[in-house]
Amino acid sequence: MNGLGNEIVVVDLRATPSPIAAAEARAAARQEPYDQLMALYPVRSGADAAVRIYNNDGSEAGACGNGMRCIAALLAAETGKAKLVFETAAGTIPCWRAGEAAFTVDMGPPRFRWDQIPLAQEFADTRRIELEIGPRGAPVLHSPSVVSMGNPHAIFWVDDPSAYDLQKIGPMLEHHPMFPERANITVAATPTREHVVIRTWERGAGLTKACGSAACAAAVAAARLRRTGRKVTVTLPGGDLAIEWRGDDDHVLMTGPVEYEREGRFDAALLAGAGAAS
């Protein structure tokens, strides 16, 4: 499936729950290249499923907004429900139908404290932190906003997001010592008070057409800096997402499309070999 041009693989392990090793996630990405793999597991609570999220490098992610819309679409078709609830490492995430092929994901409240993001050193104000890359006195990027949407994000404000080589800059910043758990790196612009434009290097996945949590993080960071209001359209290389940072409960809502691509099976020998290697 895809949430906005980014590749999402969904594996349903509710009937035969078993853990996925990092090596197996990497092997799956070699057969079926993906941005995130969403593994569905059974739950005993009132949620519809538990979800574990893997990046294509085998690491686990706490949140994936575009992937959540994909699994919401699958389970809505299966159950007939218009609203579903999922358990994730980032907490309980509700999703509901917002149109014929669109879903809204309640991403919960953003986190701003330096040790919640987390950062390697304390900053009293995370709307902008002291961090730059490039020559001293003439940095290529500097002073990012930082926020957690269940995963760490750094947003660098620029005039033109397309002017930056994220394929080169992204890995350096993802692994910067400032981010002990690595970070999603976004370059963002605010052409109007209702519009944010972004490109993202995604932690553990690389350059992506769409990162839903990055869209949420950029929208929240823009509102904190008074660049925009609390309800915006975020344009990514894959298309547009509607983001609202609600004032009454501080939750961030993301609405966007879902597209089903195809169904298949992973090569058992490939995964068995990866499991043995891990």
Exactly one of 64, 70, 95, 216 is catalytic; which is it?
A: 64
Residues facing residue 86 across a β-bridge: 49, 93
Catalytic site residue 216?
A: no
Give the residue from 96, 148, 28, 141 showing the smallest Cα distance to 256. Answer: 96
Peptide bond into 118 cis (omega under 30): yes
Domains of the chain, with CATH numbers? 8-108+259-277 (3.10.310.10), 132-250 (3.10.310.10)
Q: Are 235 and 201 in contact (CB under 8 A)?
A: no
Q: Is the dihedral of CA 27, 181, 238, 170 positive or negative?
A: negative
Q: Give dist(CA 254, CA 277) in Å, integer.
A: 38
Angle CA 81–69–174, to nearest 5 = 155
Exactly one of 70, 95, 211, 216 is catalytic; which is it?
A: 211
Give the residue from 159, 169, 106 showing the smallest Cα distance to 133. Answer: 169
Q: Three-state SS string across the chain, please? A: CECCCCEEEEEECCCCCCCCCHHHHHHHHHHCCCCEEEEEECCCCCCCEEEEEEECCCCEECCCHHHHHHHHHHHHHHHCCCEEEEEECCEEEEEEEEECCEEEEECCCCECCCCCCCCCCCCCCCCCCCCEECCCCCCCEECCEEEECCCEEEEEECCCHHHCCHHHHHHHHHCCCCCCCCCEEEEEEEEECCEEEEEEEECCCEEECCCHHHHHHHHHHHHHCCCCCCEEEEEECCEEEEEEECCCCCCEEEEEECECCCCCCCCHHHHHHHHHHC
- The predicted pLDDT at position 63 comes to 82
Give the residue from 140, 133, 136 showing the smallest Cα distance to 164. Answer: 140
- The predicted pLDDT at position 275 comes to 57
- The predicted pLDDT at position 270 comes to 72
Other Cβ atoms closer than 10 A to 11:
15
pLDDT, one tens digit for every residue, the chain (278 residues): 999 988 999 999 999 999 899 999 999 999 999 999 999 999 978 899 999 999 999 999 888 999 999 999 999 999 999 999 999 988 899 999 998 889 999 999 999 999 999 999 999 999 999 999 999 889 999 999 999 999 999 999 999 999 999 999 999 999 999 999 999 999 999 999 999 999 999 999 999 999 999 999 999 999 999 999 999 999 999 999 999 999 999 999 999 999 999 998 888 777 776 754 43
- The predicted pLDDT at position 272 comes to 72
- The predicted pLDDT at position 277 comes to 44
Maximum alpha-carbon separation in the chain? 58
Q: Give dist(CA 52, CA 29) in Å, integer.
A: 16
Catalytic site residue 64?
A: yes
